Amino acid sequence: MATVTYRQALRDTLRAEMLRDEDVFLMGEEIGVFEGSYKITEGLLKEFGPRRVRDTPIAEEGFVGAAIGAAMLGLRPVVEIMTINFSLLALDQIVNHAAKIYGMFGGQCSVPMVIRTPGGGGQQLGATHSQNVELFYSFIPGLKVLAPSTPAEASAMLKAAIRDDDPVLFLENLALYNTKGEVPDEVAPAEIGRAAVTREGTDITLIAYSRMARVAAEVAEKLAADGVSAEVVDLRSLRPLDRETIVASVRRTGCAVIAEDDWLTYGIGAEIAATIQEGAFDWLDAPVRRVAMAEVPLPYSKPLELAALPSAESLVTAVRDTLAATGRR
């Protein structure tokens, strides 16, 4: 085991996959000479050369389209889009091409590509650079959408994404890059579409992904000191969604709170709440609660930005309100 940052886990995994398979190559804005806006690709141009680490113009629709073509012809491109906000400029390529080609051509052609992109607020980057729009992509059949929360998961899931024959959107929250965790010396690819119960509990289920999965784990630790046993489900994969693990957990605990770095209305949490209603309604002792971002364009002002984001405190309040509604506490 080695303790590394989320950022380092991503870089190490990219390097390992490039060494393993010569068909894997990287492309994106400033990933070569500048070594990436977040230094995920540090040193890779020097090691692998410009043929496999390709700087692109500031033209997301163009270079995502080029990656789709390369993938159709047998290569395995890993595209870095500087933020998920800029992926909207390539929406047609992602939704109408990458996600559709396998089905429209009757399985004759795959698109084995990965789009890595960070999102999330809290960095004072303004409303147009601080969004979480993964819902757009999780809605689309033909795409796989992954959102790991720890360095170990980031490594295992990135390996799985690169080796998968379908297009994968790989979500990274900006707030996670400097977080640390243990990563095994030998990392096996994760199973795409499988959530993880990262902490077992009996009183309530906390369901989250990406940054909020880490917050949920911290909250569960604090609640344990007060005698509350919280189970934590880290979704890891948004499409496909592991409904079985979600339902099984809520059936065990009888309560659920969902936390997400997204807007409440029409969000990922709404889909999870519907899943719980369909699969665990008779086991619920209280209504499902959701904790999400304020429904505003995220302010630049640091105090206002932090007030708009979901926090450990807002999650604790939701847990206590839910448990109070059960009459068990």
129 is a catalytic site residue: yes
Catalytic residue among 97, 129, 172, 271: 129
Q: How far apart are CA 157 and CA 170, in angstroms?
A: 9
Q: Cβ contacts of residue 7 below 8 Å, gap of 6+?
A: 38, 39, 40, 177, 178
Q: In Å, how far from its chain's centre is CA 128?
A: 19
Catalytic residue among 17, 35, 60, 231: 60
Burial letters 153-188, b for 16+ CB under 10 A, else e: bbbbbbbbbbbbebbbbbbbbbbbbebebebeeebe
60 is a catalytic site residue: yes
* Residue 61 in tokens: 């629709």
Q: How far apart are CA 267 and CA 25, in angstroms?
A: 33
* Residue 94 in tokens: 């992602």
Q: How far apart are CA 180 and CA 7, in angstroms?
A: 9
| Strand pairing report for 144-146 and 237-239 | antiparallel
Phi and psi torsions of 16, nearest 5°: -60, -40
Q: Cβ contacts of residue 284 below 8 Å, gap of 6+?
A: 250, 254, 255, 256, 276
Q: Which residue has the tokens 């206002």?
A: 304
Active site amino acids? 60, 129
